[in-house]
Chains A and B, each alone.
Chain A
Amino acid sequence: MATEGQTSSADRMVGMDHAEVRYFTSYDHHGIHEEMLKDDVRTRSYRDSIYQNRHIFKDKVVLDVGCGTGILSMFAAKAGAKHVIGVDMSSIIEKAKQIVAANGLSDKVTLLQGKMEEVVLPYPKVDIIISEWMGYFLLYESMLDTVLYARDRYLVPGGKIFPDKATMYLAAIEDGEYKDDKIGFWDNVYGFDYSPMKETALTEPLVDTVDMKALVTDPCPILTLDLYTVTTADLVFKVPFSLPAKRSDFIHAVIAWFDIEFGACHKPIHFSTGPHAKYTHWKQTVFYLRDVLTVEEDEVVSGVLENKPNDKNKRDLDINIAYKFETTDPNRFSEGSCSYRMC
Chain B
Amino acid sequence: MSASALPSERLPVNDDARSVSSDESDLSNEEGWEDVEPDDETQPVVGLFSDKVYPDVRSMLKETKEKYNFDLQKIQKEFALDFLGTIKLVNYIRSQVKEGNTSPDVSSAEKFEDEVYLMPVLEDDALLYSLDDIEDETPESAGGTDAERRVIELQEDLERLQTQFSEYRDAVQRSMEEQLAQEDENLGSSTSGAAAQKASNKVEEADADYFTSYSYNGIHESMLKDTIRTDSYRDFVYENKHLFKDKVVLDVGCGTGILSMFCAKAGAKKVISVDNSNIIDRAKEIIYENGFGDVITCIRGKIEEVALPVQQVDIIISEWMGYGLLFEAMFDSVIYARDRYLAPGGLMVPSHASLRIAPFADSEFVASNISFWKSVYGFNMKSMLTGIHEEAMVRHVQPSSIPADSSVFLPLPLHTITVDELVFLKEFQVTLSEDIDELDGWAIWFDIFFMPSRDSPIADDAVPSEMQKKGHVAFTTGPHGTETHWQQVICLMDREKKRGVSLKKGQTITGKVGYQKKSEKSRLLDITIDWEAQEAEKGSQKWSLQ
**Number of B residues with CB within 8 Å of any CB on chain A:** 61
Compute how far the CA of A3 lies from the CA of B379 in the bound complex, rounded to whole angstroms. 22
Segment touching A, from B6-14, B466-474, B505-513: B6-14
| Shortest distance from the beta carbon of A265 to any chain B beta carbon, whole Å | 18
**B376 within 8 Å of A by Cβ?**
yes
**Would you call B277 and A102 a contact (CB within 8 A)?**
no
**A341 within 8 Å of B by Cβ?**
yes
**B19 within 8 Å of A by Cβ?**
yes
Contacts A103-B380, A189-B258; A341 near B20 (Cβ below 8 A): yes
Contacts A12-B4, A99-B381, A192-B290; A185 near B282 (Cβ below 8 A): no
**A203 within 8 Å of B by Cβ?**
yes
Segment touching B, from A29-37, A120-128, A154-162, A291-299: A29-37
Main secondary structure of the interface of B (DSSP, over half): mixed
Compute how far the CA of A199 lies from the CA of B25 in the bound complex, rounded to whole angstroms. 13
**Would you call A11 and B258 a contact (CB within 8 A)?**
no
Q: Name the residue of chain A whose CB is nearest to the CB of B231.
A: A190
Interface residues of A in 1-34 (CB under 8 A from B): 4, 6-7, 9-18, 21, 27, 29-30, 33-34
**B224 within 8 Å of A by Cβ?**
yes
**Would you call B377 and A197 a contact (CB within 8 A)?**
no
| Shortest distance from the beta carbon of A106 to any chain B beta carbon, whole Å | 13
Contacts A4-B13, A185-B221; A69 near B381 (Cβ below 8 A): yes
Compute how far the CA of A13 lies from the CA of B327 in the bound complex, rounded to whole angstroms. 11
Pick from B2, B21, B383, B395: contact of A102, CB under 8 Å: B383
**Would you call B14 and A4 a contact (CB within 8 A)?**
yes
Segment touching A, from B73-81, B334-342, B344-352, B386-394: B386-394
**A219 within 8 Å of B by Cβ?**
no
Chain B residues within an 8 Å CB radius of A75 = 377
Compute how far the CA of A193 lies from the CA of B261 in the bound complex, rounded to whole angstroms. 11
**A150 within 8 Å of B by Cβ?**
no
Compute how far the CA of A14 lies from the CA of B9 in the bound complex, rounded to whole angstroms. 21
Total A-B pairs in contact (CB under 8 Å)? Answer: 154
Pick from B225, B265, B286: contact of A193, CB under 8 Å: B286
**Would you call B217 and A197 a contact (CB within 8 A)?**
yes
**A326 within 8 Å of B by Cβ?**
no
Contacts A12-B394, A43-B377, A189-B224; A206 near B10 (Cβ below 8 A): yes
**A148 within 8 Å of B by Cβ?**
no
**Would you call B221 and A207 a contact (CB within 8 A)?**
no
Chain A residues within an 8 Å CB radius of B29 = 339
**B70 within 8 Å of A by Cβ?**
no
**Would you call B395 and A312 a contact (CB within 8 A)?**
no
Q: Name the residue of chain A whose CB is nearest to the CB of B394.
A: A12
| Shortest distance from the beta carbon of A155 to any chain B beta carbon, whole Å | 26
Chain B residues within an 8 Å CB radius of A197 = 215, 217, 220-221, 256, 282, 286
Contacts A4-B13, A11-B3; A193 near B289 (Cβ below 8 A): yes
**Would you call B16 and A6 a contact (CB within 8 A)?**
no
**Would you call B286 and A16 a contact (CB within 8 A)?**
no
**Would you call B376 and A37 a contact (CB within 8 A)?**
yes
Interface residues of A in 304-343 (CB under 8 A from B): 312-313, 339, 341-343
**B59 within 8 Å of A by Cβ?**
no
Contacts A12-B2, A192-B261; A203 near B20 (Cβ below 8 A): yes
| Most chain A CB neighbours (cut-off 10 Å) among B12, B29, B258, B262 | B12
Pick from A69, A74, A200, A206: contact of B215, CB under 8 Å: A200
Instruction: Name 22 interchain pairs, CB-CB below 8 A, sorted by A.
Output: A4-B14, A4-B15, A6-B7, A9-B394, A12-B323, A13-B16, A27-B546, A29-B388, A30-B373, A37-B377, A71-B377, A99-B384, A102-B381, A102-B383, A189-B224, A190-B224, A192-B261, A195-B289, A200-B217, A201-B217, A204-B13, A207-B13
The list of the 8 closest CB pairs from A to B, nearest first, reads A98-B383, A196-B285, A208-B10, A200-B215, A11-B15, A18-B16, A14-B3, A102-B380
